[in-house]
Structure 1
Amino acid sequence: MLPQTLSIADPAPSAVDTAGRTAPTPQSPRPVSLGALDWQENSSVLESALASMPEHSAGVSASLAWCAGIGAGTPRPGFGDTALVWELLASVAAVDLSLARMLEPHLDALAILDQAGFGDVAASLGALGASADSTWGVFAAEGSGQKVTAQQSAAGWRLSGAKPWCSLAGTLSHALVTAHTEGGRRLFAVDLRDRGVMASAGPWVSRGLSDIVSAPVTFTAVPAIPIGDDGWYLQRPGFAWGGVGVAACWWGGTVGLARTLYAASEAREPDQIGLVHLGAVDIAVESARLALAATAMIVDGAALPADRPSVTAKRVRSIVVAAAETTLEHVNHGMGPLPLVADDAHARRVADLQIYLRQHHAERDEAALGRTLLEAGGAPW
């Protein structure tokens, strides 16, 4: 006799019984805390930002406009308010990972411009049409057979070539782009509306972050403004801290999943296995929170070691990824198939988080951490 197959119409029992109904997804956005000492003050700032969040259905343009408004009043990492910046990213991601995926590079670009001495390049950026309303991306990926080069002439710098993984290049107004010069890699600001910029519409068949088209861009003699010297972009400590900002988004998406599991468990008593899933998720979420909170203190100079930003960033990113993947597994096992097919917000969050996590290169990034530890010298434990 053939084994009986399970169908979505007759799903396997879940540890958290959601049979006959969708899993209860929290409806009202609320801040996510890293446990900062000034949480009461931070909470009001975050609540104000969350209250103005556009609905997911508002579309990319409305979401980017919101990002520009939020960016104008958000502090930069490294000046005492790093926890607040990461709490903002996590709080947005707990509600809508797509929106967080737009906000994070915009805030990162503004931080990079500040680190480079924004006042020194502000007039030049104005020549590119940049203003307080500009929406920014950071395009620094490298791909086989794709390369952007920068050439300087009497007319200024020009970028030419192809760059992979340029998220929302067809919608953003501006971007910071890495390009190869005779002296190495250098960062440049460009106007993405220039006629020499051709943003591809794909391939992008992703079910997760489906609105965040990340495809190649071709630059043909595009005017560019240098930001920092050769090698500055990769060598500055802020490069590592920007990578942790991405991890804050991953953690926020993980919190969103954990909240859904908790709400389902609270609505109907879970069995013993359901309690195991809930406890495991709590451990995962809390381990990532502790790592991010400690790193925020390091970035702001309130804790050691501050002299190994690359090690710290690689470590905390891997911790957060492990927590996110653990949570995905336990939530999926605990809740079964129904919320994945009947709860739009939950299904989208799962798909978004799975594709977002692939910005981490899994075992390759762990190998890079091991190499960085050896290069830094001296066991850190």
Structure 2
Amino acid sequence: MRLEANPRPAELFRVVAELAGAASAVNGDARRALTLASSLASVPRPGEGRTRQLFDTLSTLGAADLTAARVVEAHLDALAILHQAGYPARPDQTWGVFAAEGPGMTLTAMPADGGWRLDGVKPWCSLAGLLSHALVTAHVVRPDATTGRRLFAVDLRQPGLTVHDDVWVARGLAQVTSGPVDFSHVAADPVGDDGWYLSRPGFAWGGIGVAAAWCGGAVGLARTLYGSVHSRTPDQIALAHLGAVDLAVTAAHTSLVAAAAAIDAGAADGEAGSILAARVRGIVARTVDDVIFHIGHALGPAPLALDARHAQRVADLQLYVRQHHAERDDAALGHMLVTRGSAPW
């Protein structure tokens, strides 16, 4: 599926409809989502002048199917990271990013036989049993006792990896299994220097891409509500819920459009990029929570009990948006604002 740089309105409508149809056909199936991800190599990378098109693509996917959006977002993020590092990726490869940390779980990287090897446990490794490759962060241990945190490219089809999909009991994103993986003498290629993964400008931009997928999920729910008010005459309460949902979704979309413009203008590097990402993710996460609240109050239990796609979208979105750490992320944003030394408004 090829996305042109500056499509005409009619062509853009066709592309969006085709993309939404392909995502809808995924219908929660992770393997189909990976096939879709592999077909989207022409989606623009962040910071190269068409970031809004990237965010719109992720939102379109999320509105149609959140499994599709979740899998595609991670694959495209990995490709953008690899491109930024000058590390080649082949079209037949499917990629994820395993960068989470967890208590009692440590993954170490050591020089070995002219290369690197990984040992230990990495939590939250989404689709490790289905992907061909992943970008994995590990704690470096060198013979001279120097340490750091570094990113590595790993072929997941080699021996030495044990995937624990059995711990994944989620009802949302049920096929995007994200359990821990044991690494034992696993060969890996370094991608960037120590600390590069977290310090590069694209780290913040990738977090906004995730928010674009969340926003799409909220749009999918909002469309269900909008459809309901046309199936029967809405009362004042239904109209109030519809208005509240419109305010929330519009605010989220506006924040994403502004973020895309800032990224392409070179105004979202360093601290500015971190603050921008925290704001946008917070706005969109609140939008998701608000939309789920209003949809539930407006429509009652019927769609959750009788509409499989709606019920799945709610379950998927509730789990997916918990990548935002709620008050902890708000506190992190507050800390960044305080350290600036002047009011930001």
Query: RCO greater where, 1 or 2, for CA within 8 Å and sep 6 or more?
Result: 1
Same fold per TM (> 0.5)? yes
Which amino acid in structure 2 is aligned with residue 105 of structure 1?
Answer: A
Q: Which residue of 2 aligns with 1:101?
A: 70
Q: Which residue of 2 aligns with 1:80?
A: 49
- Counterparts of 1:88 and 1:107, CA distance in 2: 11
Matched, 1:315 2:279: yes
Q: Partners of 1:221 and 1:134 in 2: how far apart?
A: 22
State the match for 1:23 in structure 2. Answer: none
C-alpha contact (below 8 Å) 2:33/2:67 kept by paired residues: no
Q: CA deviation at 1:373?
A: 1.6
Structure of greater Rg: 1
Partner of 2:3: none
| Superposed CA offset, 1:336-363 (max 9, x none) | 0011000000000011110111101110
Q: Which amino acid aligns with 1:335?
A: L
Q: Where does structure 1 lack aligned partners over 5 or more consecutive residues?
A: 1-36, 123-129
- The 3-state SS of whatever aligns with 2:152 is strand
CA distance in 2, matches of 1:304, 1:238: 9
User: Partner residue of 1:61?
Assistant: 31
Three-state SS of the structure 1 residue aligned to 2:134 is: strand
1:284 equivalent in alignment to 2:243: no
Write the letter of the residue equivalent to 2:49.
Answer: G
Question: Does the C-alpha gap of structure 1 residues 237 and 302 become closer, same or farther in structure 2, counting only changes over 3 Å?
Answer: closer
Give the Cα separation in 1 of the matches to 2:166 and 2:339. 38
Q: What is the CA distance between 1:205 and its match in structure 2?
A: 1.2
Aligned to 1:300: 264
TM-score, normalised by the number of residues in structure 2: 0.92
Q: Show structure 2 runs of 5+ residues with no match.
A: 1-5, 141-145
Matched residue type, 1:194: Q
Structure 1 match to 2:197:
233
Counterpart residue number, 1:139: 98
Identical counterparts, % of pairs: 53
Query: C-alpha distance in 2, partners of 1:270/1:93?
Result: 27
Say if 2:123 is the partner of 1:164.
Answer: yes
Q: CA deviation at 1:151?
A: 0.5
Partner SS for 1:138: strand
Matched, 1:361 2:330: no
Per-residue deviation, residues 237-280 of structure 1 (Å, max 9, x unmatched): 10000000110011000000000000010121111101100000
Aligned length: 334
**1:58: Cα distance to partner?**
7.9
Q: Which moved more, 1:314-323 or 1:153-162?
A: 153-162
Q: Which residue of 1 aligns with 2:80?
A: 111
- Which secondary structure does the structure 1 equivalent of 2:67 belong to? helix
- Residue range with higher mean Cα deviation, 153-162 or 88-97: 153-162
User: Which of 267, 270, 273 pairs up with 2:234?
Assistant: 270
Alignment TM-score, normalising by the size of structure 1: 0.84
Compute the displacement of 1:53 (Å). Answer: 3.7
CA pair 185-376 structure 1, distance change in 2 beyond 3 A: farther
